[in-house]
Amino acid sequence: MLLLLWRDTLGIGGIGREVYLLYRHWYHQLAHGTFPPDDVTWQYPPGAGLVFLAPGQLPELTYYQAFVVLTLVADAVVTFALARAGSSGAWLWVAGLPLLLHLPLARYDVQVTAVAVLGLLALRGGHARLGGTLAGLGAMIKVWPLLTLIGTPRGHLTRRAWTAALVAAGVLLAVLTLAFSHTLDFARQQGSRGVQIESVGGTALSLAKLAGWWPGEVRYRYGAFELTGPYASSAAHFALLLTGLAFCWLLLWRVRSWQWSAATPVDAAFTAVLLFTVTSRVISPQYMVWLLGLGAVCLTCRDTGQRAVALLMLPAAALSALAYPILYDDVINVTPLGCAVVALRNGLLVAAALLSCRRLWAETVPGPPSLKGL
C-alpha cells in the first residue's frame, strides 16, 4: 500500500492529491481559526477538523507524510484492538484493507473507523459510557459512528450509552464553536449533493444512459463526479427516501427484537451502517473501510450471525478498487466495462444488506420460523 501510494500512478492516479492539496488547504484555514467558508467540498461535521489539524503536530514531517503516519497508527490501533478481541476479526481487517489498494492511506476513514471500532468493542465489553462517548465523538467526525449504538441492550446500558454520546458530541461541538468560526457551514453543502456515479442510483442512471434511454451526463460537482439530467434529482430524493425507510426498519427491529445475544449489538451496528451505505447518494470506495472495520468486529463474536455478510465485504472491497482508481476513466465515461464493475459491486452490497437484515431479524425477533426474516 505504501509503495502504491509513493508511486501513485495506478489507474487514474493522483489519489494522494486529496491529502497534499485539499486536506492541507483545509489545515491552513483551520490553523487560522476558521472552518472552510463557502467551500462546496467541505461536507464533514466539525470534529473532522481535528483530524486535519493533527498532522501539524508532527512538524518534522511534511503534512502529507504526517497524515500517512497518523493513518498507519490508526490502522495499527484497530488491528491491535481486534486481535485482542478475536483473531478472525483482525484477519478480516488485515486482509481486507489492502484490497482497497492505497486509498485508505490517503483518506481519513481509517481514523474515524478506529474510533467506531474502539467504541463498539467497549460496548461489547459492557463499558456503555465509554462506548457511547466514542460513538458521540466519532459522529462529530463523520456522523455514521452514531449508528453503532443502535443495538445497545435495553435498559440502563442504552440510557448510559446514548447519554454519554450526546454529552460528548455536545461538548465537542461547543468547544469547536467557541474556538472556530463557520463551524456549521458543512450542513449547507450536504443538501446540494446529487447522485454520485458510484451509488446505487448512479448505477441505475448509468445503465440507462448506456442503453440509450437516458440523455444525462457526468459532471464534476461538489468535489465528486455526479450524474446530471432528467430524473437525476428524483433519484437523489429517492435515495433519501430509502435512507428514511432503512431507519424505520431499524426502529421496527428495535421494537420487535427480544432474543438478544452477546453478538447482537455489534451485528446490529454492522447492519445499520451497511443499510445507510447502500441507500447513500454517494458510496465512495472509502466507505468500504467502515464496513470492513465493523464486519471485523462482528467476527470477534463466536455467535455472530453476520459472518457470511462480513466476508462479502472482501470481494466488494476488491471491486471498489477496480472501479476506483483502476477503471475510473471507464466509470466516468460510462463504458460497458465501467458500468459492469460498479453494478457488480453495488449488487453485491445490496445483496449483503438484505442478507444482513434477514439474519439480524431471524436471530432476534421471536415468532414462527416461517415469518422470520420478513
Domain ranges of the chain: 2-371
Strand ordering across the sheet containing 224-228:
195-196, 224-228, 217-221
Residue 196 β-bridge partners: 226
C-alpha torsion angle, residues 93, 294, 282, 162 (rounded to 10): -150
The pTM of this model reads: 0.95
- From first to last of its 374 residues, the chain has per-residue pLDDT tens of 999 999 999 999 999 999 999 999 999 999 999 999 888 889 899 999 999 999 999 999 999 999 999 999 999 999 999 999 988 999 999 999 999 999 999 999 999 999 999 999 999 988 999 999 999 999 999 999 999 999 998 889 999 999 999 999 999 999 999 999 999 878 776 556 789 999 999 999 999 999 999 999 999 987 789 999 999 999 999 999 999 999 999 999 999 998 889 999 999 999 999 999 999 999 999 999 999 999 999 999 999 999 999 999 999 999 999 999 999 999 999 999 999 999 999 999 999 999 999 999 999 998 654 444 43
Contact between 43 and 59 under an 8 Å Cβ cutoff? The reply is no
Q: How far apart are CA 246 and CA 277, in angstroms?
A: 10
First-residue to last-residue Cα distance in the chain: 42
Contact between 41 and 193 under an 8 Å Cβ cutoff? The reply is no
CB within 8 A of 24, min separation 6: which ones?
63, 64
Q: Work out whether the CA dihedral 27, 30, 36, 42 comes out positive or negative.
A: positive
